[in-house]
Amino acid sequence: MVNYEEAAEHWQAREKDAVRMPEAELRAAMEKFVASHRVCALACASSNGSLVRNTPIEYEWFDGAFWMFSEGGLKFRALATNKRVCLAIFDPDPTFGHLAGMQVTGVAEVLEPFGPDYLAACEYKGIPAERLRALPFTMMAIRVLPTRVDMLCSAFKDGGYDVRQWLEL
């Protein structure tokens, strides 16, 4: 018989004795990691669970959030009923002993096309709004505000910390 609860509690049990990184140092490491990558996997699901999507998508990190542009797709059907999402960012080809990856839990907001936040994202990304207005479809924008970040980084051991660190935001 599979004990799902035991498996789910594995990391929580280990974290009780984890050597935690000071918050400022952890925030700096997380910011550096996010800034050094440009693609994440955006996972979302409808509120009834009948639709689950995991979309590779380019992001920008600014103003404490992840910002993404998308032509569309089924992820928007899921986001219409459930704003809770998870992002995964990771090194594409880690060598043994040099793993780094991040899981970000957060809340997504689909921005009003050509509204103030949408235009701010255009400006930050360097996309002229006129160019998007000229498209034959509406380019959508998503902002994800993180609520928790879990990071696994082998290099944390070098500072005497556990390789798995987390931060509630």
User: Per-residue pLDDT averaged across 149-164, rounded?
Assistant: 95
> What is the model's pLDDT at position 77?
97
> What is the model's pLDDT at position 98?
81
Q: Which helix (H) or strand (E) holds 126?
A: none
> What is the model's pLDDT at position 92?
80
- Homologous superfamily of 37-168: Electron Transport, Fmn-binding Protein; Chain A (2.30.110.10)
Q: How far is CA 39 from CA 47, 66, 67, 157, in A?
A: 25, 11, 11, 26
User: Per-residue pLDDT averaged across 64-74, rounded?
Assistant: 97
Instruction: Provide CB contacts within 8 A for 95, sequence distance 6+.
Output: none
d(CA 166, CA 169): 10
pLDDT tens digits, 83-141: 999 999 998 877 776 889 999 999 999 999 999 999 999 999 999 999 999 999 999 99
The whole-model pTM stands at 0.93
